[in-house]
Amino acid sequence: MTFQTTEPPFRFRQGTRPLLISMPHVGTYLPPALAARFTDEARHVPDTDWHLERLYDFADELGASVLFATHSRYVVDMNRPPDNANLYPGQDTTGLCPVDTFDKTPVYAAGDVPDEAEIQTRVDAIWQPYHRQLRAELDRLRSVHGRIALWDAHSIRSVLPRFFEGRLTDMNLGTANGASCDPSLAAALLGIAQSDPAYSGVLNGRFKGGHITRTYGNPAQGVHAVQLEMTQASYMQEQLPFDYLPDVASRVQPLLRQMIETVLEFVERDPPATR
């Protein structure tokens, strides 16, 4: 199968402070020819990280740069390595170009899953441009500020038996087991996540950070990367029609903002690394 798209691979807003917020799973676009191959369920793109741009609507005010995916993760997953290696060996995961949903139902109605050539075309058209922009902005921020941060923003349904038992912790911070971020910053963020009894928080639990966190986080080089995977129940309706719930979201937004402000304070307080 061939693959074509007319939609840009990402949207980007450049900020003024040493932070890039990446949102690799917010995209919902499906090229029509591809959508025609999908099941009805998959065309609703249920595994989207819905409404994160709205949830993080304070990002511009704080001066952060923001990078958004436009295409659904069912087209190509920006947070998987391009060789499709499993980031959690021994655990069930979805791939670079998923063939099933989080509920383990088929994405492709007739079973015509993408072959290696089609997957490579999607990587070239969408995955690579997103990561080139991500790398270019991190390099620009490093050249201007010295020490910088990358915040990889995610959300997921609170109950997903395929990936975890019971109900997921609300705030799942990942720093690749400490490799992608200074431990004192990670500890401060965990303290914020656990500061409100209405929410639960964990560091490097079920979600330790995906390809983006693991690839770009390099504290020794002045790049501190953190992934936050938060439960969608904390701000939205988890089933169709996946509505944003302003009253619910308004209770968790102060915690998110405090986390982002803490990241900025950390990288701006510390002395610049050698350039």
Give the tens place of pLDDT for each residue, 166-177: 999 999 999 999
pLDDT tens-digit series, residues 66-103? 999 999 999 999 999 988 666 666 666 788 999 999 99
Domains within the chain, CATH numbers bracketed: 10-269 (3.40.630.40)
pLDDT for residue 274: 44
Distances 243 to 48, 58, 145 between C-alpha atoms, Å:
12, 20, 38
Strand partners, 76: none
- How much is the pLDDT for 90? 65
Distance CA 220, CA 182 (A): 9
The reported pLDDT for the residue numbered 83 is: 82
Based on the number of CB atoms within 10 Å of its own CB, is 89 exposed (0-12), middle (13-18) or buried (19 or more)? exposed
| Neighbouring C-alpha atoms within 13 Å toward the C-beta of 204 | 13
Q: d(Cα 137, Cα 160) in Å, to the nearest integer?
A: 34
**Maximum CA pair distance of the chain?**
56
- For the chain, 275 residues long, give each residue's pLDDT as a single digit of tens: 668 899 999 999 999 999 999 999 999 999 999 999 999 999 999 999 999 999 999 999 999 999 999 999 999 999 999 886 666 666 667 889 999 999 999 999 999 999 999 999 999 999 999 999 999 999 999 999 999 999 999 999 999 999 999 999 999 999 999 999 999 999 999 999 999 999 999 999 999 999 999 999 999 999 999 999 999 999 999 999 999 999 999 999 999 999 999 999 999 995 554 43
Report pLDDT for 63: 98
**Cβ–Cβ contacts within 10 Å for residue 43, how many?**
17
Average pLDDT over the chain reads 94
User: Are residues 215 and 155 in contact, defined by beta-carbon separation less than 8 angstroms?
Assistant: no
Distance from C-alpha of 208 to C-alpha of 174, rounded to nearest angstrom: 4
> What's the pTM?
0.94
What is the enclosing helix (H) or strand (E) of 130?
A: helix 128-145
